[in-house]
Amino acid sequence: MKSVPPPNPHPSKPSYVLPPRSCDAHVHVYGPVARFPYAPDRAYDPPEAPIEKLRDLHRLLGVERAVIVQATVHGIDNRAMLHAIASGSGRYRGVALVPADVSAETLRDLHAQGVRGVRYNFMPHLGKSADTGEVRAVAERIAPLGWHVQVHVTAAHLPQIRGFLESLPVPFVIDHMGRPMVRDGLNQPALADLLDVLRHPRAWVKISGAERISARLSAQATPYADAVPFVRRILDVAPDRTVWGTDWPHPNVREVPDDGKLVDLLPLYADDPAALERVLVSNPDRLYWYE
């Protein structure tokens, strides 16, 4: 089983000061394993990354709210994620992994505990891609709750599932910008496909994973700054349907980033502070705190 490194043990304090109520809309928690065991069929084996470590990081970064996305290492056992949400006094929301036959009662219970979406994988390296029929059935069950479907998919694969996504009765959120690799340039078909999908009124995107798409990695004076033009294209198309996240503790990355440096990319993404306020505060309000 593949092992992954721990998060950066000494993240820097960012120079950029986040606005009040800023939300890190994509993080995971792992363990503690003695209380919340990993799934035996997991694709990778990470060190523990419990909620206490995440809180310490967010204090350093100036993050006040977060969305905890159920980690595949825990499978459909959402207890670690729910435990983390419960510790946040309303500052945390969650995105769950659920079985195809999840009941309406279970979904209502998850909603009461702070869950606002379900996530599906279309990334072969993490296992079999989701069955679209099952996703549609769950989407119909979550629609009355105001939830969304979050999809882990590459932009290059979007044309194959675009019609399906646009037919869902709920919003859909694309993880990690769909990973259009910087080395392939701004004119690559994958980025064009992503931007085209983002013109749909129910399409959202997370501008997380700059370290995943960067061509130069931390060798840059400003790490991952070559991802900035890609984010700017996204914000030109969907400024009101974009949220930001660190992806802490950074599973399956080429190198573990300094989260403070990820925050310092934010002012490069938009010239207008109001545009960043939407990404960090008001857009997450609408997607996760709509009550």
Active site residues: 247
User: 22 with 246: CB under 8 angstroms?
Assistant: no
Q: How far is Cα 129 from Cα 68, in angstroms, rounded to an integer?
A: 22
Instruction: Give the span between the Cα atoms of 158 and 193, in whole angstroms.
Output: 7
| Helix residue spans in the chain (DSSP H) | 51-61, 79-86, 104-112, 132-142, 158-167, 189-197, 210-213, 228-237, 259-263, 266-269, 273-277, 283-288
The β-bridge relationship of strands 65-69 and 23-27 is parallel
What is the spatial distance between Cα 52 and Cα 142, in angstroms, rounded to a whole number? 30
19 three-class SS: coil
The residue type of 235 is L
In what order do the strands lie in the sheet containing 115-121?
23-27, 65-69, 92-96, 115-121, 148-152, 172-174, 203-207, 242-244
**Can you give the three-state secondary structure of 68-79, one letter per residue?**
EECCHHHCCCCH
Rounded CA separation 167/197 (Å)? 12
